[in-house]
Chains A and B, each alone.
Chain A
Amino acid sequence: MSAGAPPRLWPRLGLALLVTLAVVPFLPKWAAFLVTLALAKGLVALGLLLLMRTGLVSFGQGLYYGIGAYAAGMGASALELGDAVPLVLLGATAAGLVALLLGLLLARYRTIFFAMLSLAFSMIFYGLLVKTSALGSTDGFNVAARSTFGLPTTSPVGRFGVYGLGALVVFVGAASLDRYLRSHLGRLAPAIRDNELRVEYMGASVRNVVHLHLVLAAVLAGAGGALTALAVGHVDPETTYWTTSGEFVFVAILSGTGSVAAPFVGALLLELLRSFAYEHAPNTWQLVVGASMLAVILFLPEGLWSVFRRRRRAA
């Protein structure tokens, strides 16, 4: 995986950012939306990638995704924040704070019990949201940012504001995570996954590292949730439901943990697959999506990203 000293990733991510921004005018409008959605969901999967490298899988990332979405939504309506940038920051911060608190407990858990406790928390939050009729219960409420970076959403450039903001957040998130994974602390992640006791013997605190990773993953998920809320223009409790959390696990695993770019490729392919399955097989799209997933798991055990990796080895 991260053997040796692979070249720094940020120049390439920067290039990808530029390409992502440059292709907007040429992309059909529906695709721009799907890409934004994929970037937002990819952020959540990126957080999962960090957790998975640490040996943890959360079936409850929907909690932070939902908190990010609701924080952005309430920021727009209750605090009357009009710009998308502070809303995304608000979403990320709120999710991070909740993870800081829950992490006191969650950091002690491993394997399936970590997964299920995360799931329990997200489902309790779901229950609370459903009970709160002031927030629209299961129907949720509309969210609208008036501008991005001060550019009004009605202007020709501002219309793509959330798209651009998404690309920027993804660049910052992926580049800093990549840098972190190469740092001393970041390299403890695989060590913790392989053997915690040895890491403790080395004098590092496994619990603190896990706690930190929980918070980082939550911040990414919160930013993803806020971006989704702004792109969709609506928040609802479905964002915290276990099926949504499951979808993120999917994207993370189908993409593979090989690179910080993988979750975004995986998220985009899944969005495209689902959307074309909806269009061409409205009555049997679950069959199409399920079969495609099985095919990836069986034939690309390292995830979708391994397609790119293999070609590199062959070259």
Chain B
Amino acid sequence: MGDLLAVTVDGVLYASWLFIIAAGLTLIYGVMRILNMAHGSLYALGAYAAASLAGAWLRGGHAPMGSYAMLAAAAILVGLVMGPLIERGLLRFCYGKDEVVLVLVTYALFLMLEDAVKLVWGVEAYFVAEPYGLLGSVELGPLSYPVYSGILVLAAVGVGVALLYAVTRTKHGKLLLAVIHDREMSAAMGIDVNRIYLVTFTAGTMLAAIGGALTAPTVSVLPGMGVEVIVLAFAVVVIGGLGSMPGAALGALIVGLVRSAAVHWLPQVELFSIYLVMALVLVFRPRGLFVAAEARKI
């Protein structure tokens, strides 16, 4: 059943890509209760930075292998610059507002970033295709896959493990859990909530940028590339349960496999397969797969 193999491989590859992006979204929501609409723009910024940096590196005639380092550098750079800029410059003035108002704040930010990107990079497409084919490909039955896709899977697993370790095994992670559980109590206990927020938002931004930077070699980097990503990532985290990291992983896997099965066996339903899955999951698990029911307050 070569088909099944292809469906699985395609599904897992797509899921890895989705997970990296969704992980940042769910992290920010879990800690800060902000459903970040600008996540897609940060993903696009990561892609732009990667295309610019790696492109400059390759044009400069340096060793092509170094372009991978450039992709990583671009993501880190975007995270370190944009994360604190947005959190300190805008979001901190909005804490305490309604969740929906925060969604609107990030939507306004998304609109502004879309134009800002255009002002900096113009509307022309940017390419940095070399890293995609550089590592050769492997044959799986009648199909061949670039080794680069493997990097994407490794990166997704790496991101998952790193986040799990950081949250459950480090002091910072435990403080983070305390803040998630009860923000006011944590502040009263002397936890610097503001710092936790800053670090979280920067990490989330960096994850979006990593997603963008790793995608850059497989696409042309253009205005508007972040729009589609937002709703997809939303669907993933809602299926998994908002704020849950294992949920995001499972959600990404489900969406990836369902989409890939649809493409192979029933291309007609691909367009709404993801929303169908989301609706079905919510019908049976109203708060997503990994979130327990909330206690009712009297």
Contacts and interface: CB of A to CB of B under 8 A. Distances in A.
Given A113-B288, A287-B112, A120 B282 contact: yes
Contacts of A195: 297-298
A112 B272 contact: no
B297 A109 contact: no
For A120, A121, A126, A284, the residue with the greatest tally of chain B CB atoms inside 10 Å of its CB is A120
Interface in A92-151: 105, 108-109, 111-113, 115-117, 119-121, 123-124, 126-128, 130-131
B286 A131 contact: no
A289 B276 contact: no
A287 B35 contact: no
Interface string A243-272: 000100110011000000000000000000
Contacts of B184: none
B100 to A, nearest CB: 5
Nearest to B230: A242
Interface of B: 35, 90, 93-94, 97, 99-101, 103-105, 107-112, 114-116, 118-119, 231, 234-235, 238, 242, 268, 271-272, 275-276, 278-279, 282-283, 286-288, 296-298
Residue among B107, B114, B119, B275 with max Cβ neighbours from chain A (10 Å)? B275
Of the candidates A198, A289, A294, the one having the most CB atoms from chain B within 10 angstroms of its own CB is: A294
Given A109-B286, A198-B298, A294-B90, A120 B112 contact: no
The 5 closest A-B pairs by CB, nearest first: A127-B272, A290-B111, A290-B112, A287-B115, A293-B108
A27 interface: no
A284 B115 contact: yes
B100 A253 contact: yes
A298 B93 contact: yes
B54 to A, nearest CB: 27
Nearest to A111: B99
A304 B221 CA distance: 38
A249 B94 contact: no
A112 B99 contact: yes
B282 A253 contact: no
A128 B273 CA distance: 11
B100 A57 contact: yes
30 contacts: A108-B286, A109-B282, A109-B286, A116-B282, A117-B279, A120-B235, A120-B275, A120-B282, A123-B231, A124-B276, A127-B271, A195-B297, A195-B298, A197-B297, A249-B100, A249-B103, A249-B104, A250-B104, A254-B104, A283-B115, A284-B119, A287-B111, A287-B112, A290-B108, A290-B111, A293-B104, A293-B107, A293-B108, A297-B104, A298-B93
B255 to A, nearest CB: 12
Interface in A186-200: 195-198
Nearest to A123: B275
A124 B242 contact: no
B116 A287 contact: yes
Nearest to B279: A120
Contact of B105 (A112, A117, A287, A294): A294
A108 B287 CA distance: 11
A14 interface: no
A22 interface: no
Contacts of A287: 111-112, 115-116
A157 interface: no
Interface centre among A116, A287, A291, A297 (most CB of B within 10 A): A116
B272 A253 contact: no
A62 B100 CA distance: 17
A176 interface: no
B204 to A, nearest CB: 17
Contact of B296 (A121, A130, A197, A253): A197
Contacts of A116: 234-235, 238, 278, 282
A196 B35 CA distance: 24
Given A108-B286, A197-B296, A284-B119, A291 B97 contact: no
Contacts of B111: 286-287, 289-290, 293
A291 B108 contact: yes
Contacts of B112: 286-287, 290-291, 294
Given A249-B104, A291-B112, A120 B278 contact: yes
A250 to B, nearest CB: 6
A212 B288 CA distance: 25
A197 to B, nearest CB: 5
